[in-house]
Amino acid sequence: MERILEVQNIEKYYGSKSNLTKAIDNISFNVEKGEFVGIMGASGSGKTTLLNCISTIDKVTCGHIIVNNQDITKLKGNKLNKFRREQLGFIFQDFNLLDTLTCYENIALALTIQKIGAKEIDIRVKEIAEKLGIKDILDKYPYQISGGQKQRVASSRAIITNPKLVLADEPTRKFRFQIC
């Protein structure tokens, strides 16, 4: 099998010497192409921090993260931006959809950043929307759709570029409502 992700002895600290918090403590694992991996743990145990380090949202304090045989902990500037744009899809816990864009535009944004032509964008957005059952909401704004629909729009945006690696922060989270 082909190894897609290799996490080697990573650690992540926050704060200063007088108030240091160790969020990740010497974690190592590998993920093979086509494999699905779930990370479980108590609230505050470092799951989101780990995903943020793998996705380059945050930097590790020490250790290495290798995606497709490329050590992403050493990437900076344009090379880091290119990696994010071409190799990675991320589904955020709170969706991170832009309220001023329609669902169509939120999905298309990933392709627009890659400078894909308008006709190709249109074909791909409609194709992915059909597969995920959201074709009928493409002209709506995020505030006009349900939580499940927002999750599918965010998922569409993450996978439309055909990334090598897709990361999802609490993708099966249940929505809870409090009645006052």
Q: What does the pLDDT look like over 13-37, one tens digit per residue?
A: 999 889 999 999 999 999 999 999 9
CATH number at 61 reads 3.40.50.300
pLDDT greater than 70 at residue 172: no
pLDDT value, residue 94: 82
Query: Is the residue at 108 inside a domain?
Result: yes
Both 53 and 108 in a single domain? no
Residue percentage of the chain with pLDDT more than 90:
82
On whether both 67 and 128 belong to a single domain, the answer is no
Three-state DSSP state, 97: coil
Whether 128 is in a domain gets the answer yes
DSSP annotation of 76 reads: -
pTM score:
0.84
Query: Do 64 and 10 fall within a single domain?
Result: yes
More confident residue, 77 or 172: 77
Let me know: does 153 contact 97? Beta carbons within 8 Å.
yes
Domain span including residue 107: 103-163
> Residue range 159-169: average pLDDT?
93
Question: Is 26 part of a structural domain of the chain?
Answer: yes
β-strand pairing of 165-168 with 88-91? parallel
**Does some domain include residue 52?**
yes
Count how many domains the chain has.
Answer: 2
Model confidence over 52-108: pLDDT tens digits? 999 999 999 999 999 999 999 999 999 999 999 999 998 888 889 999 999 999 999
Residue 178 lies in a domain: no
Domain assignment present for residue 89? The answer is no
Tens digits of residue pLDDT in 100-149: 999 999 999 999 999 999 999 999 999 999 999 999 999 999 999 999 99
Q: Are residues 12 and 66 in the same domain?
A: yes
